[in-house]
Amino acid sequence: MSYSTINNLDTYNDILEKEDAVLVYFSHEQCNVCKVLKPKVAELLENNFPKMKMYYADTVLNPEISGQNKIFSVPTVLAFFGGRETFRKSRNIGINELAEQIERPYGMIFEN
């Protein structure tokens, strides 16, 4: 399970500009659901969508990133393909549902 932490807005914008497929996991250390969910999301990407990069943004430590993205609750997952937000999920995030939403755009970019 691997993901990187984003610590500032410039890095965040650079990642979206350079990467073809990105999932950003917004949360903070007090989120108990996230302690279980975040590793499952990382494992999903690693096993099923290995070319999609996962990043973590702490909403408490980096309020400018969460503010720019209108993140009002945690956990929130944003998926970007080709630098564009493709979908977002907040609070109740199911792994199977997340996989289904990633599958089509991922396939269009990487399996052609």
What is the homologous superfamily of the domain 4-110 according to CATH? Glutaredoxin (3.40.30.10)
pLDDT digits 0-9 by tens, 74-93: 999 999 999 999 999 998 88
- Helices 32-48 and 95-110 cross at an angle (nearest 10°) of 30
Bridge partners of 57, per DSSP, are: 6, 26
Query: Residue 111: which pLDDT band, with cuts at 50, 70 and 90?
Result: confident
Report the 10 Å Cβ neighbour count for 28.
Answer: 15
* Separation between Cα atoms, residue 62 and residue 41, nearest integer Å: 21
Domain boundaries, the chain: 4-110
DSSP letters spanning 15-34: HHHH-SEEEEEEE-TT-HHH
* Separation between Cα atoms, residue 39 and residue 66, nearest integer Å: 20
The structure's pTM equals 0.93
pLDDT digits 0-9 by tens, 4-42: 999 999 999 999 999 999 999 999 999 988 889 999 999
